[in-house]
Amino acid sequence: MKLDLRNPLQQEIADAFFSTHTVKGDYEISVVAARPTQLEGFTIKASRSGSTITATIGLALDHSLRYALNRLASWSATSESTLEVNEAPDFAIRGVVEGFYGKPWTHEQRLRGLQYFGDYNMNTFFLAPKDIPWQRFNWRAPFDSVFLTNTKELIEHGRKNAVDVVVCASPGLSVKYSDEKDVDAVVNRYKQLFDLGARHFGLLWDDIAWELSHEEDITAYVSTAAAHADFTNRVWRRLVALDPTVMLTMCPMHYSGRGNEPYIQELGRDLHPRVNMMWTGRSIISEYLDIADAVIFERTALRQALYWDNFPVNDGGLQKNLYIGPVRGREVGLQKYSAGLVSNPMLQFEMSQIPLYTIGDYLWNTAAYNPDLSWENALVHLIDNETDRSALRAFLRTSMGTAVGGDPAPDLRQVFRNGVTQWRLGNLKEAGEIFIAAGNEIISNHAYLLKAGFSRPLMIAEIEKWLEKYLIGGEVLIGLGSVLQGCGFDTSKGCITGTATDVQALADLRERLEAHRKNLFGDQIEGPINELMAELQS
């Protein structure tokens, strides 16, 4: 491998990439200064001769080398002889916000996450776990040496993968907005991070009391919005005194809705125009993010929204769900009306990578984004072993429905279409065989996923409880098929006939499925069972 690079940062990025990625061919790469279509873009001219790939990469920004290497590696896996591209991302800020309630990701997971996010062409990682003392409860104290050591490693690892690490402060539970000492506490933390190399900081006012609680604040401010703007602006002025290129992103107290709320209007009017403002869209978990709402927000807040997208997050009451389908419902062209988008992932780090891969695809090129193709590509990227990938794919497709749409169990839906068609025709033996075969397939696949030597054991460990539900589903399908085969068919009425024993057997199957607390299969199994029970009792 021959690399003709322009500076040490490019060397760091290239070394990190080639140390963790298996690429086909011998590379001869030269990096030159260029003017891509957009600042963060790149140009590539490449060709192959035998096993040798010769490429010239043009960059305006050093960190764009990571995205160029991603593109070059994907091309090298094809049979194409030449490559000539001039690419750039759609969204300026693209990434992940670890902002959920519950057990936070580990330091080791965050380090691996930064590599993954680089693979997905993301450039930002907000570290903002809700249920950790330093984030919301102990924010006045300086960071301790262990935290700073870990964060320094994250920042350095992020730099090698072209991802900025943004550490956040959430002082709203106990802050006194008018007290300069509280501004000092936040800024002192930011200074510690600044000394480690951080240049983007987060100040979060979400999930706090709506009313001012200190008498000094009630006297000083006409509203909570005024207090938030003033405190944030004071922090901002202190930051730009350190470095005029720094970034500050704040999350407002009111962070979802139409975007024309009085709080947003007042906050936007008073907040410094260079401070980013986060927004989740029409809802806390928005089924869609569209241009019309983005325009309303921009007109009200006097800045474009930086979307905090609560997909695929599954904290709080959502922990019974796995949201592992592709992102949907995000409009083509939204980047023209947005400062960026960061995704709030699931508590399950490994499984989050599947939807995060698709989010990276959307953020890079909204017009070319194909959710189903992106999802399939995510599996290929994350699971090398083809047989293991096929087995995991079959399980994952029982939980494809998400908070942003999608059929929860598309393969099982087809099973029921075929089975119900047969029972409507009175072919109960054939209908039963369809369900029994599907159940046996699930049971066999479940055993394969749990076998020793499966290539992604960390993924399996995260979905252990859902795999229990998966096995139950297979056994229930077999039970459903057996009940059907024992029923009769009244040709004069065109309906299935059965006994009270049959009805009770179906009720027991349904109860067994519903008793397990994890969600799987959507309503694909319970719905037809309920329908059959009603028919047998008619």
Helices (H), ranges, 274-396: 291-301, 349-364, 371-382, 386-396
Stated pTM of the model: 0.96
Which one, of 40, 35, 36, 18, lies nearest residue 27 by Cα? 18
Round to whole Å and give the CA distance between 534 and 119. Answer: 51
Q: Using 50, 70 and 90 to split pLDDT, how confident is the model at 403?
A: low
Q: Which residues pair with 340 in a beta bridge?
A: 93, 306
Round to whole Å and give the CA distance between 11 and 9. Answer: 5
The pLDDT of 62-73, averaged and rounded, is: 96
Residue 1 confidence (pLDDT) above 80: no
> Per residue in 421-455, pLDDT tens?
999 999 999 999 999 999 999 999 999 999 999 99
The pLDDT of 282-299, averaged and rounded, is: 97
Sequence-distant (6+) residues with CB within 8 A of 313 are 99, 100, 285, 323, 344, 345, 346
Longest distance between any two alpha carbons in the chain, whole Å: 86
The pLDDT of 27-44, averaged and rounded, is: 92
> Per residue in 75-118, pLDDT tens?
998 889 999 999 999 999 999 999 999 999 999 999 999 999 99
Asked if omega into 410 is within 30° of 0 (cis), the reply is no
The answer to whether 245 touches 269, Cβ cutoff 8 Å, is no
Look up residue 323 and give its two tokens.
Answer: 């949201």
